[in-house]
Amino acid sequence: MILRKIDINLYKVIYTNDETGLINSNPNLIYTTDEDDSYSGYYTLDVNGKYIPDNAKELEEIKSIKLQEVKNSFENSLQHGILNSSLGFPVDNRRYLDKNDKDNVQGLIDLNIPSVEFNDSNGNFHTLTLSNLILLKSEMIQDGLKKYQDKWNLENSIKQCSTIDELLLISTQ
């Protein structure tokens, strides 16, 4: 028996009865299914008159876990970052308290010498000019900015999710 049908989201039909066909004793709790019954779930009416997933607490807990995963992955990328430089070799691009490779490159630039031997992340040495070092520093800055942008995009995607299924599709690694 269908008491009330409400179109909340496109392609979703909301019913005030549960799967058994019995009328739910809570008028603020509704059951939803899509046209082909591939998705179903319960929603409750909040104080603002908005329907929210009945599992909203679980949704927020999973969001919190996902956001922590993003933070951990981001911090790991800063502590163990490797940049594939346009100069043709990999460069450590770590940024944390006792290791800041960009600052080390800046220190070499500050020496203002025509060339310097530079040790890449594989332990191979390369002769770099002052202009090579400036380019390398620029690439390191851009790499750091990309890491931040990726982090912010992931965080925003997680915060925008309205279902657990949407959250589970987001990879935080």
Is residue 104 scored above 80 in pLDDT?
A: yes
| pTM of structure | 0.63
Provide the greatest CA pair distance for the chain.
84
- How many percent of the chain have pLDDT more than 90? 39
Is residue 160 scored above 60 in pLDDT?
A: yes
Where in 74-159 does DSSP place strands (E)?
82-84, 90-92, 95-96, 99-100, 115-119, 125-129
Q: What is the mean pLDDT of the chain?
A: 76
Among 125, 126, 130, 127, smallest CA distance to 113 is for 130
Chain centroid offset of residue 40 CA: 26
- How many percent of the chain have pLDDT more than 70? 66
Q: How far apart are CA 14 and CA 123, in angstroms?
A: 62
**pLDDT class of 16 with cuts at 50, 70, 90:** very low
Q: How far apart are CA 126 and CA 88, in angstroms?
A: 10
